[in-house]
Amino acid sequence: MMITMLGNAVTNSSIYSIAGIMDLISNNIWINILVKLAIIGTVYTAGISLIAMFSIWWERKVAGHIQGRLGPMHTGLWHGWSQSLADGVKLFQKEDLIPDGADKLLYRIAPYIAFAPIFAAFVALPFGPQLCFDGSFNNGLLYILALLAVEVMAVILAGWGSNSKWAIYGAMREACQMVSYEVPLGLSLICAILAAGTLNMVDLGYLQGGGMQDWLVFHNPFL
């Protein structure tokens, strides 16, 4: 939708001429678009951050109960609900150190390479009829899987950039784990693709929109 608005504005204002550019500026079209993009980006980032915080807390609680313990309990008034927030504050207060002999470029860029695919993958997820990618995204599921695979590169770059053999060993171990996790994930998604007959995330959402009885996991739990 935003891209369509921008395209119409450019077309109607004849951006190939100086007068067209001045017309865009004078009508505040660019300002309106930038403000809307800033608001959408802020809400988008905040939503992803909240989902990540809750998922980490939930995973730690479930893992704790599986292992016969309670998990985080002290931070927050109820079952340590703010533990992820406290961990984030603690991480922001840590000093940014670069090991001696490390590749500064790789060492600094690796976290960005790790986070960027996660945020980009949310583009293909439909959150509602008006909150989905405005355009043809027929391979949305494949797009998400491809972006998640970039995480492996970020982990290896972080280990290699530190110039430490122990960090490289740890990075290779983590990369092997991430690749192994993708195998059952891909197999489970293949079952959903075969049942739905599409890779489009919007179509998959509409297919399961009739209620819980239409969810693929309940429609045929043996897939």
pLDDT in tens, 96-155: 778 888 888 888 888 888 888 887 887 777 776 666 665 557 788 888 888 888 888 888
- Report pTM: 0.58
Contacts of 164 (CB under 8 A, 6+ apart): 99, 102
Q: What is the pLDDT of residue 7?
A: 44
Low pLDDT (below 70) residues in the chain? 1-30, 128-136, 220-223
Q: What is the pLDDT of residue 26?
A: 59
Residue with tokens 């893992």: 63
| Residue 9 region by backbone torsions, left for phi larger than 0, else alpha for psi between -120 and 50, else beta | alpha
What does the domain layout of the chain look like in residue ranges?
1-94, 95-223
Contacts of 120 (CB under 8 A, 6+ apart): 147
Angle between helices 2-13 and 29-66 (to 10 degrees): 170
